[in-house]
Amino acid sequence: MALNSADWVKLIEIYRSYLITGGSGVDEIRRVMRELRKRGEDREVVSPMFCIAGRIFGEPTLTASAEVACLSPSDAAVAIMHTRIREKLLPRVQRRRLAVPSLESNDGSVVLALRVGFASALLGADLEERNRPGLGWQAVLDSHVGGADGYDGFKIPHHGSSTAYHLDVWNRLIVPNGWAVITPYNRQKEPIPRATDCQRIRRMTERSFITSPPGWSRFRHPDSTVQKTAEEATLRIGVEQSKHGHVRLRRSVAAEAEWRVELFGHAQPLSALRIAA
């Protein structure tokens, strides 16, 4: 999917003309393309390096070998995303939109596998299991080379939701009792991870952590006009969660080194959450 393609250019130019400033979701794309043009002045065609399943980025000049492998999106997912851009993102005649609509599904999510020396991690992004050939985690598993070393840890996809769970990911891609990190998603009626999600993840590994407790509160403004405008200009609006934190994991790239876990702010072991007990 090329950002220089006619679909993307058309999308950006149409939305730029009438969307609320700062909230459209288009400005970020424009800023990225401008930055790429600055960096690639000698290149005739300016474009980012796109991630697609099977592509590998390496850095052979480091002291230890470093490799970033793209495990998704699959070819099928990219084809579907092109179709969704045409069907759902481009404005329709006599239909005004205040923000770029959500595509809902996360088929185009970029899953990355990192290996630096003897250290490794699987970054699951927001990829979900779709139960459709060529999509989701099953597509990642189908392309996995049997016998390859498992990853030391897992950034759990889609905020630990059950829709992103696939048992074989844990059995085939992650080392036994590897570390796992979750970021909660609070901007919906029932935040994730839910209690059942936390309990399921704890069964997979004893070394699981969350960056902050899940929670949500609804936004209410005393002025009904402001409330109405805010709701029309956003996909969902609520009070920002005041509890934040982050999990930092470090280790030497040498063999036999152990991972060190540091928790900041409201980050905590998943076992410490009351809903995960």
pLDDT band at residue 2 using 50, 70 and 90 as cut-offs:
very low
The tens digit of pLDDT for each residue in 165-224 reads 999 999 999 999 999 999 998 877 788 999 999 999 999 999 999 999 887 556 677 788
Provide the mean pLDDT of the chain. Answer: 82
Helix runs in 143-192, H state only: 167-168
What's residue 29's pLDDT?
72
Buried-exposed string 15-54: b where 16+ CB fall within 10 A, e elsewhere: beeebeeeebebeebeeebeebeeeeeeeeebeeeebbbe
Residue 1's pLDDT band (cuts 50, 70, 90): very low
Give the pLDDT score at 30: 74
pLDDT score of 12: 61
Q: What pLDDT digit, counting tens, does each position of 128-178 carry?
A: 999 888 999 999 999 887 667 899 999 999 999 999 999 999 999 999 999
Q: In Å, how far are 30, 81, 89, 90, 273 from 97, measured between CA atoms?
A: 19, 20, 10, 10, 40
Q: Tens digit of pLDDT for each residue in 53-67?
A: 999 988 766 677 889
User: 51 or 99, which is more confident?
Assistant: 51
Residue corresponding to tokens 């990829």: 127
What CA–CA distance (Å, rounded) separates 212 from 184? 7
What would the pLDDT profile of 98-140 be if each residue is shown by its tens digit? 565 565 678 889 999 999 999 999 999 999 999 888 999 999 9
In this prediction, residue 254 carries a pLDDT of 86
Whether the per-residue pLDDT at 272 is higher than 50: the answer is yes
